Structure 1
């Protein structure tokens, strides 16, 4: 009988420990979930950062194939403000920001003399996934395919999404790491030459 009480006491202690640990873990997960749900906006790369591509300098030129089979050259957009975005279909923050890019493109891009150029890291993605992603978000701005590494190194893309705000002279004015929302996009474009 005495052993039975000890076993029951031990089981109760174990049950209480399991409940305490489970409660602690659930609270931590809720904190992390709430942090993720806040969709922390991207942050600007400073000109003295090792990740800076060269603020105030001409954006490195490139030509890439578009999803619809044409090609696009960045320097052909000189005279327009350009939002240059690097992304992948498997990237959760990219999924968060794309509806805002589409909304901006649809409502404001023409009026603001802006072109959005979304470069998919296709060498690290899957073309079918890219097509499905574009279709599911009903994206209408140009989607470029980086099928081989190289441009990502030129632009120092270590984090996606990465976005560059390029002025009408073709110079990089802002470099942003992380997701953007509609208000942030509009603020950056409003202050762009």
Structure 2
């Protein structure tokens, strides 16, 4: 008798969890680009299942125009430590992370390059990215991934996503999906060679 009651309690609990998950999934906001925004850890922009680039692999090179109009090429930073972040202005977890990245950048810009690639192809336009950056006075480099080539090379399926690249041009730590804290960035910087 106790086993039957316990079994019923387990089934009711599991059913409740599934129903809550489905309701929560259906109430996520949809951005202007047609992608689903999930405020918990990051915003999904493509189907899940991509795993990103593993530590020990060379960081794929890319060349993009920056928000300031310059040409940015990742391989030009070889010999420097790099925190490579992917974001969009409509992404709430990105908005949570960017002021922390600015504070970190101001404190550590002599030790590491902070690069925040705007997924302009998933963005509501360059103007949205420019307005957001100017409004908050972020000063790290902002390349514009208009064709989403860099996103594809890095298998970014959730934003923000961040890679940690060493002076050898290799990914040296597992990538981070979701917003970073100041402490996390400091920890990753300490591990980069």
TM-score range, shorter chain: 0.7 to 0.9
Aligned residues: 149
Tell whether 2:155 aligns with 1:122: no
TM-score when normalising by structure 2: 0.72
Q: Distance in 1 between matches of 2:192 and 2:148?
A: 29
Tell whether 2:172 aligns with 1:173: yes
- Asked if the contact 2:41–2:93 (Cα under 8 Å) also holds between the matched residues in 1, the reply is no
Q: Which residue of 2 aligns with 1:83?
A: 83
String of CA shifts for 1:121-150, please: whole Å, max 9, x gaps. 001111111011101221101000001122
Q: Distance in 2 between matches of 1:106 and 1:188?
A: 16
TM-score when normalising by structure 1: 0.72
Give the secondary structure class of the aligned counterpart of 1:64.
strand
The change in CA–CA distance for 1:167 and 1:40 in structure 2 (over 3 A counts) is farther
Q: Distance in 1 between matches of 2:188 and 2:58?
A: 18
- 1:1-193 superposed matches below 5 A: 50-110=50-110, 113-125=111-123, 126-174=125-173, 175-193=175-193
- Asked if the contact 1:55–1:173 (Cα under 8 Å) also holds between the matched residues in 2, the reply is yes
* Distance apart, 1:52 and its partner CA: 2.9
Give the secondary structure class of the aligned counterpart of 1:135.
helix
- Asked if the contact 1:63–1:72 (Cα under 8 Å) also holds between the matched residues in 2, the reply is yes
String of CA shifts for 1:24-55, please: whole Å, max 9, x gaps. xxxxx9xxxxxxxxx9778xxxxxx9513131
- Asked if the contact 1:57–1:171 (Cα under 8 Å) also holds between the matched residues in 2, the reply is yes
Structure with the higher fraction of residues in helix conformation: 1
Q: Distance in 2 between matches of 1:128 and 1:142?
A: 16
- Asked if the contact 1:81–1:115 (Cα under 8 Å) also holds between the matched residues in 2, the reply is yes
Q: Which has the larger radius of gyration?
A: 1
- Asked if the contact 2:56–2:171 (Cα under 8 Å) also holds between the matched residues in 1, the reply is yes
Structure 1 ranges of 4+ moved more than 2 A: 39-42
- Asked if the contact 1:163–1:177 (Cα under 8 Å) also holds between the matched residues in 2, the reply is yes
Q: Which residue of 2 aligns with 1:22?
A: none
Pairwise CA RMSD of aligned residues?
2.1
- Asked if the contact 1:161–1:177 (Cα under 8 Å) also holds between the matched residues in 2, the reply is yes
